Structure 1
Amino acid sequence: MKLNLSSQIVLNKIPEEFYHPRTAVERSELTRCEKIPTDIFPKVEEGAENIADEVMRLINQRRHEGRYCVLGLGTGKSLAPVYDALIDRYERRLVSFSNVVVFNAYEYFPLDTTSAHSSIAQLHDMLLDHVDINEQNIFTPDGTCPQDEVQEQCRLYEQRIQSFGGIDVMLLGIGRIGNIATNEPGSGLTSTSRLMLIDATSREEMTMSFGSQEPVPPCSITMGIATILAARKIFLTAWGDDKAEIIRQTVEGPITETIPASFLQTHNDAHVVIDLAAGARLTRIVHPWLVTGCKWTDKLTRAALTWLCQKVHKPILKLTNKDYNENGLSELLALYGSAYNANIKIFNDLQHTITGWPGGKPDADDTCRPERAKPYPKRVIVFSPHPDDDVISMGGTIRRLVQQQHEVHVAYETSGNIAVGDEEVTRFMHFVNGFNQLFMGSDDETIARMYGEIKNFLAAKKEGEPDTADVRTIKGLIRRGEARTACTFNNIPLDRVHFLDLPFYESGKIEKLPMTEKDVEIVRQLLQEVKPHQIYVAGDLADPHGTHRKCTDAVLAALDLEKEEGAEWLADCRVWMYRGAWAEWEIENIEMCVPMSPEELRAKRNAILKHSSQMESAPFMGNDERLFWQRAEDRNRGTAKLYDDLGLACYEAMEAFVEYKM
Structure 2
Amino acid sequence: MNLNLSSQICIEPVHGENLWLNGKIDWNMGLLRSALTWLSEKTGKSILKLTDKDYQDNSLTQLLDIYGSAYDVNIQVFNDLQHTITGWPGGKPNADDTDRPERAFPFPKRIIVFSPHPDDDVISMGGTINRLVKHGHDLHIAYETSGNIAVNDEDVTRYMHFINGFRRMFSVENDDFISQKYAEVKEFISHKKDGDLDSRDILNIKGLIRRVEARTACAYNGIPKSNIHFLDLPFYESGKIEKLPVGKTDVEIVSQLLDKIKPHQIYVAGDLADPHGTHRKCTDVVLAAINEAKQNNVRWLEDCRIWMYRGAWAEWDIENIQMAVPISPEELRRKRNAILKHSSQMEFAPFLGNDSRLFWQRAEERNRATAALYHRLGFADYEAIEAFVEYKPI
TM-score of the two chains, using structure 1 as the length reference = 0.59
Unmatched tracts of structure 1, length 5 or more? 15-279
In structure 1, the partner of 2:75 is 344
CA contact (8 A) 2:272 2:280 kept: yes
In structure 1, the partner of 2:160 is 429
Query: Partners in 2 of 1:302 and 1:332 — Cα distance?
Result: 12
What's the CA shift string for 1:282-310, capped at 9, x where partnerless? 55xx7521224211112211111111111
What's the CA shift string for 1:154-208, capped at 9, x where partnerless? xxxxxxxxxxxxxxxxxxxxxxxxxxxxxxxxxxxxxxxxxxxxxxxxxxxxxxx
Equivalent position amino acid for 1:10 in 2: C
Q: Secondary structure at the match of 1:654?
A: strand
In structure 2, the partner of 1:562 is 293
Percent sequence identity over matched residues? 68
1:315 aligns to 2:46 (yes or no)? yes
Q: CA deviation at 1:4?
A: 1.3
- 1:330-409 to 2 correspondences below 5 Å: 330-409=61-140
In structure 2, the partner of 1:169 is none
CA contact (8 A) 2:122 2:339 kept: yes
Q: Secondary structure at the match of 1:478?
A: helix
Q: CA deviation at 1:336?
A: 1.0
1:3 aligns to 2:3 (yes or no)? yes
In structure 1, the partner of 2:37 is 306
- 1:416-565 to 2 correspondences below 5 Å: 416-441=147-172, 443-565=174-296
Query: Partners in 2 of 1:457 and 1:425 — Cα distance?
Result: 11
In structure 2, the partner of 1:626 is 357
CA contact (8 A) 1:414 1:502 kept: yes
CA contact (8 A) 1:505 1:512 kept: yes
Q: CA deviation at 1:441?
A: 4.2
Q: Secondary structure at the match of 1:576?
A: strand
Equivalent position amino acid for 1:348 in 2: N
Q: Secondary structure at the match of 2:318?
A: coil
Q: CA deviation at 1:2?
A: 6.7
Query: Partners in 2 of 1:427 and 1:589 — Cα distance?
Result: 44
Query: Partners in 2 of 1:478 and 1:442 — Cα distance?
Result: 23
Query: Partners in 1 of 2:377 and 2:45 — Cα distance?
Result: 7
1:326 aligns to 2:326 (yes or no)? no
Give the counterpart of 1:594 among 302, 325, 328: 325
- 1:229-308 to 2 correspondences below 5 Å: 283=16, 287-308=18-39
What's the CA shift string for 1:351-371, capped at 9, x where partnerless? 110000000000000000000
CA contact (8 A) 2:269 2:311 kept: no
- 1:4-403 to 2 correspondences below 5 Å: 4-12=4-12, 14=13, 283=16, 287-403=18-134
CA contact (8 A) 1:615 1:627 kept: yes
Query: Partners in 1 of 2:136 and 2:335 — Cα distance?
Result: 18
Q: CA deviation at 1:434?
A: 1.3
Q: CA deviation at 1:446?
A: 0.6
Equivalent position amino acid for 1:7 in 2: S
Q: Secondary structure at the match of 2:175?
A: coil
CA contact (8 A) 2:111 2:138 kept: yes
CA contact (8 A) 2:324 2:386 kept: yes
In structure 2, the partner of 1:650 is 381
CA contact (8 A) 2:2 2:246 kept: no
CA RMSD, Structure 1 to Structure 2 (Å) = 1.2
Query: Partners in 2 of 1:373 and 1:651 — Cα distance?
Result: 23
Query: Partners in 2 of 1:522 and 1:309 — Cα distance?
Result: 47
Equivalent position amino acid for 1:580 in 2: G
CA contact (8 A) 1:597 1:651 kept: yes
Equivalent position amino acid for 1:517 in 2: K
Q: Secondary structure at the match of 1:550?
A: helix
Q: CA deviation at 1:442?
A: 6.5
1:640 aligns to 2:371 (yes or no)? yes
CA contact (8 A) 1:580 1:635 kept: no
Query: Partners in 2 of 1:444 and 1:625 — Cα distance?
Result: 43
Q: CA deviation at 1:328?
A: 1.6
CA contact (8 A) 1:379 1:532 kept: yes
Q: CA deviation at 1:593?
A: 0.4
CA contact (8 A) 1:354 1:593 kept: yes
What's the CA shift string for 1:580-637, capped at 9, x where partnerless? 3100010111000000111010000000000000000100001100000000000000
Q: CA deviation at 1:440?
A: 3.5
Query: Partners in 2 of 1:413 and 1:610 — Cα distance?
Result: 18
Q: CA deviation at 1:325?
A: 1.4
Q: Cα distance 1:459–1:305, how it changes in 2: closer, same or farther (>3 A)?
A: same
Q: CA deviation at 1:443?
A: 4.6
Query: Partners in 1 of 2:331 and 2:351 — Cα distance?
Result: 27
Q: Cα distance 1:344–1:619, how it changes in 2: closer, same or farther (>3 A)?
A: same
Equivalent position amino acid for 1:290 in 2: L
Larger radius of gyration: 1
Q: CA deviation at 1:532?
A: 0.3
Q: Secondary structure at the match of 2:87?
A: coil
What's the CA shift string for 1:491-533, capped at 9, x where partnerless? 0001000000000000000001111111011001000000000
Q: CA deviation at 1:334?
A: 1.2
Q: CA deviation at 1:340?
A: 0.3
What's the CA shift string for 1:518-567, capped at 9, x where partnerless? 10110010000000000000011000000000000000000011100110
CA contact (8 A) 1:287 1:304 kept: no
Q: Cα distance 1:623–1:298, how it changes in 2: closer, same or farther (>3 A)?
A: same
Q: Secondary structure at the match of 2:118?
A: coil
Q: CA deviation at 1:444?
A: 2.5
Query: Partners in 1 of 2:159 and 2:172 — Cα distance?
Result: 19
TM-score of the two chains, using structure 2 as the length reference = 0.98
Q: What is the count of residue pairs matched by the alignment?
A: 393
Query: Partners in 1 of 2:290 and 2:341 — Cα distance?
Result: 31
Q: Secondary structure at the match of 1:410?
A: strand
Equivalent position amino acid for 1:11 in 2: I
